Amino acid sequence: MSASPTLELAQQLIRRPSVTPADEGCQQLMAERLEALGFNCESMRFEDVDNLWAVRGESGPILVFAGHTDVVPSGESAGWEHDPYSALVKDGMLHGRGAADMKGSLAAMITACEAAIAKANPSLETLRLGFLITSDEEGIAAHGTRRVIDALTERGEQIDYCIVGEPSSTAAVGDTIKIGRRGSLSASLTIRGKQGHVAYPHLADNPIHRAMPVLAALTGMTWDAGNDAFPPTTLQISNIASGTGANNVIPGSCKVDFNFRFSTESSHEQLTAKVTELFDAHALDYKIDWHLSGEPFLTQPGLLREATAASIEEITGLITEQSTAGGTSDGRFIAPSGAEVVELGPCNATIHQVNERICAADLDTLALIYERLIEHLADKAPR
């Protein structure tokens, strides 16, 4: 039996090893399909990152499909049952790096647009369709979606509705969508002491000893209680480094990395102020560097959330869970522009893992959901 159009396109994309920030021609392949549908495709390259902005239609609200062509490295090839870029289908499963995250979604987005446009529904002519695709999502995300949104804002172009194709589902396609994401705030802390001999501690100042009560207090704090949409803010220590490698030397410094995933109940300014207050109370000699990856965002109940949930139920029979759990996505750059943002994609059980794979039939289901979503918005979006 021949592969479906969605599966075939997903395989073509997976066979291009586009490890961040490389695109390896994926966006050109997508642009060719979109141009055949009447999309105006614009390449936006910033530094070493390829971005694609494509629009179909002249007026009316716009539904944008957003995603990324870059993938994380495949890792040790010996651990893979099949070549990570062969896009092999075996026992109904599509294997390969990017199958779930997120070349499968990209293929489903394209074929959904092809199917919806082929129906020639007059209402679709009042809804513009768009694609915002980058090759810099898995990396530092400095020259991808963020830069495209900045450029569009400068030109006065507004996104009304956006579907991000990140793998949101857990056990079945459509069982979970993301209606927002927590913010991400990282810190690199250096606690300074004085190096010395372990036999003469009175002549030294051990920064590890100074760090221990502070880190215990830090990890024991309650930052907020969360709310109906978000779980409480959490802090996790990710790295601790100190010492010279010798067991008879008190180190001169201790470095600690930690990260907040924070709800809308806290701002990054509040979090940094609380941390600074704690450190100062312990009379530490320290320096700290902060990096804000993204503010929390939440799409309020409205047309996009309603249309997405309805489309999933009509195609699959599932009542989707509307969640804000998980990591960050490029939705954090799109939501502040005023767009309603929902993340909907395939199952995420094997993303970033060796032997990444998804059920091949899920791609057709996802394409049908996207197609139905287009139809809902074409019928209901305000003109």
Residue 282 marked in a binding site? no
- Say whether the peptide bond before residue 93 is cis (omega within 30 degrees of 0): no
What average pLDDT score do residues 35-52 get? Answer: 98
Q: Judge whether residue 3 has pLDDT over 90.
A: no
Q: Is 138 annotated as a binding residue?
A: yes
Catalytic residue, chosen from 70, 114, 330, 340, is 70
Q: Which pLDDT belongs to residue 381? A: 83
101 annotated as belonging to a binding site for a ligand? yes
pLDDT tens for 227-258 read: 999 999 999 999 999 999 999 999 999 999 99
Cα 219–chain centre separation: 26
pLDDT single digits (tens) 65-118: 999 999 999 988 888 999 999 999 999 999 999 999 999 999 999 999 999 999
Query: Looking at residue 328, what is its pLDDT?
Result: 87
Checking if the pLDDT of 32 tops 60, the result is yes
pLDDT at site 222: 97
Binding residue per annotation — 352? yes
Cβ(255)–Cβ(242) under 8 Å? Answer: yes
Residue 1 has pLDDT above 60, yes or no: no
Which pTM was predicted? 0.90
Give pLDDT, residue 123: 86
pLDDT tens digits, 296-341: 999 999 999 999 999 999 999 999 999 998 888 999 999 999 999 9
Q: Confirm whether 70 is a catalytic residue.
A: yes
Sign of CA dihedral 221, 321, 145, 348: positive
Both tokens of 171, joined, read 């056990």
Mean pLDDT score across all residues of the chain: 96
From 50, 137, 330, 340, the catalytic residue: 137
Query: Considering the chain, what percentage of its residues have pLDDT values greater than 70?
Result: 99
CA pair distance 296, 265, nearest whole angstrom: 10
Give the residue-averaged pLDDT of 161-168: 98
Question: Domains (ranges, CATH) in the chain?
Answer: 5-181+296-380 (3.40.630.10), 183-294 (3.30.70.360)
Q: What are phi and psi of 68, to 5 degrees?
A: -140, 145
Q: Is 172 left (phi over 0), alpha (psi -120 to 50) or beta?
A: beta
